[in-house]
Structure 1
């Protein structure tokens, strides 16, 4: 019986880990690590972010299965959640799968790819 316990525990751990990082609206949202006022899905796994540049003040990268499709289209309910937190999408500035949002003079950029997304806080005074 003891011989079976360890393989069963390992199998259960692998199954639970594989399911933990998938986009499900019902799991809710939390604050992004770079901006407390910008939501990210609660079960998104943080990865090593991209380097900052003169245009980007802060960055965060997340892995989350099902967050975007091949074209980088985010789930509509995620965009609605961002707006419910007070952010306005700058739709005229959207380029492909790069979305820009503004709130109280801050501009955030959201780049959605298949199973990965980046959140950038743009530098103050940046003209888009």
Structure 2
């Protein structure tokens, strides 16, 4: 019985390890669920988003291993990709690990943490 159990456990651990979502530039990007023009890493796993408020029109929360470091700094490749999609960072509005991007009158807030990130589309009531 032990001879059968050990290989099954090894196989199960290999399968589970293969399902870990981790940031890599090579995997590419896709459209976020809240704004078709804003990129998120293709292998990010969508979680239950935060509730919207009067300042936040839409929200999405994603899990992705190594998306940010301990201070919430996003990978440089990801910031470049956001700019490649036509978004301009509002660097003067950045607060810690909260980044703001603007495109065609829309403002997106990107909050990076170690293995989780949030994307918020700000409501029209927010003035910067």
TM, length-normalised to structure 2: 0.91
Deviation at 1:77, TM superposition (A): 0.8
Gaps of 5+ in 1: none
**Paired residues, what number?**
126
RMSD of aligned alpha carbons: 1.5
In structure 2, the partner of 1:16 is 18
Which residue pairs with 2:80 in the alignment? Answer: 80
Task: Determine the C-alpha separation between the residues in 1 that align with 2:99 and 2:25.
Answer: 19
Between 1-10 and 97-106, the greater mean CA deviation after superposition: 1-10
Quick check: 1:31 aligned with 2:35?
Answer: no
The answer to whether structure 1 residue 95 and structure 2 residue 95 are counterparts is yes
- For 1:77 and 1:60, the matched residues in 2 are separated by 20
2:120 equivalent in structure 1: 120
Instruction: Tell me how far apart the structure 2 counterparts of residues 51 and 39 of structure 1 sit (CA, whole Å).
Output: 21
2: CA distance between counterparts of 1:38 and 1:5? 44
What CA deviation, in whole Å up to 9, does each residue of 1:2-49 have, x standing for no partner?
76774454233212113xx00000100000000000000000011100
- Matches of 1:4 and 1:124 in 2, distance apart? 58
Match of 1:40 in 2: 40
- In the superposition, the TM-score normalised over structure 1's length comes to 0.91
Distance in 1 (alpha carbons) for counterparts of 2:57 and 2:69: 27
Q: Which runs of 4+ in 1 moved over 4 A?
A: 1-6
Structure 2 spans left out of the alignment, 5+ residues: none
SS at match of 1:62: strand
